[in-house]
Amino acid sequence: MNKKKAKLMFKHNSFDIIEEGDFVLCAVSGKEIELKDLNYWNVDLQEAYFSVIEANQRYKSIKKN
């Protein structure tokens, strides 16, 4: 089965699908995230995160700068 990467527009508490697909990539780990499992993202950076762990890592890296 060929999976296709989706393109999303992240909003507060939701996201819009710009281009249909099955998954997005975690901005920190590069892991594939099925859209049905997507729970963590950053609206300002327009990034998706695999879990709270990756979201926290990104938050800490931004806070340092």
Give pLDDT tens digits for 9-65.
999 999 999 999 999 999 999 999 999 999 999 999 999 999 999 999 999 998 876
Cβ atoms of 48 and 30 closer than 8 Å: no
What's the predicted TM-score (pTM) here?
0.91
pLDDT at 64: 79
- Indicate the Cα dihedral angle 38, 40, 46, 48, nearest 10°: -60
Whether the Cβ atoms of residue 55 and residue 42 lie closer than 8 Å to each other: yes
Phi-psi region at 47: left, alpha or beta (left = phi > 0; alpha = psi -120 to 50): beta
**What H or E segment, with its residue span, contains residue 58?**
helix 52-64
